[in-house]
Amino acid sequence: MLEIEVNESNFRIPAGRPAEVVFILKNRENKKESAKLKIEPEFKMGDMSLEWRIDIEGVAKTKESILVSGEEPKTIEYTIDVQKQKNKDVFIHIYPPKASEIGDMAIFKTSIEDDVAWSKDITITVESAIVAIKTQIGQEVKVARELGLKAKSKGWNEIYAILAPFNLKGYVLVETSRPDKVLSVIRGVRGAKGIVRGEMKLEDVKHYLTPTPTITTISKGDIVELVEGPFKGEHARVIDLDEAKNEITVELFEAMVPIPITVKAEAVRLIERGEDNGSNS
């Protein structure tokens, strides 16, 4: 009887990128063991005619490539021999169709039978990925705007969002189900310098999507400009902060009498760091 291990069974990947599945068949007996590998695909897709490619290594002398779809969900079967006291590695790369939509899913019911039957469902769900584009410093918003207009004019619906985070200099983030297509999007866009190798998930960039509260970037002694209220446009020095209330107390430079004014943190913009920057006490 064989011992069987699998590296992973639940994948969430963008279209066109492979799910890399590794089966390890361990033979602890003093005789050769033979097993039957069976893969039965099921699909939940908007377009059932799209073909998934399955590359299999370790079951034949050369790599096997098979195409399957919802309209033609063929069963894949191989006989695998495992020599006595040896391990056998079977590598299976499964590629979702490049035209897949977010949420498309395939379940590959995989079983390996020798003296007993072993089974595992390999589930693959198509999701978007985040691609980072290098830009010239200061050109992030311009590049993001041009990329959006180009993707819209070309009808590239696989581009879901383009973002130039204010706290990420020199980069633009693109959410897409087709990372391989981003290179075509940036071609000819001035200020775009290239693509960062590899993709990220939304969780990897969430900290760029949440603005840092203004009060955490300001210290006592800083010089600020009021951007809201009756004193809009006036410059002032910060004399106190209340993080619990998200309020800042300032003194106006142009006031005849230095009367403290308390405003919300969002009502000021940092102009210059003060001498006692870093001390909030």
Phi, psi at 132, each rounded to 5°: -95, 130
Cα–Cα dist 84/118, whole Å = 19
Tell me how far apart the alpha carbons of residues 267 and 228 are, in angstroms, rounded to a whole number: 5
Instruction: Identify the residue whose tokens are 């069976």.
Output: 38
pLDDT of residue 278 exceeding 60: no
Q: Provide mean pLDDT across the span 111-115.
A: 90
41 vs 68, 70, 88, CA distance in Å? Answer: 8, 8, 23
Range in 73-82, 97-106, 160-169 the model is least confident about:
160-169
Closest CA to 64 of 33, 91, 84, 43: 91
Q: Which domains does the chain have, with CATH numbers?
A: 2-126 (2.60.40.10), 129-209 (3.30.70.940), 214-272 (2.30.30.30)
Over residues 208-251, the pLDDT tens digits come to 776 656 677 789 999 998 888 888 888 999 999 988 888 899 99
Average pLDDT of every residue of the chain: 88
Percent of the chain with pLDDT over 70: 95
Identify residue 59 by its one-letter amino acid code: V
pLDDT tens per residue across span 144-193: 999 999 888 888 888 888 988 877 889 999 998 888 888 888 888 999 99
Alpha helices in 216-273 (DSSP H): none
Q: Is the pLDDT of residue 196 over 50?
A: yes
- pTM of this structure: 0.66
Give the residue among 80, 181, 70 at the shortest CA–CA distance from 131: 181
Tell me which of 33-42, 108-117, 130-139, 254-263 is least confident: 254-263
pLDDT digits (tens, 9 = 90+) for 28-51: 999 999 999 999 999 999 999 999
Q: Which residues of 40-67 are buried (b: 16+ CB within 10 A; e: fewer)?
A: bbebebeeeebebebebebbeeeeeeee
Query: Quick one: pLDDT at residue 212?
Result: 58
At residue 204, the pLDDT reads 78
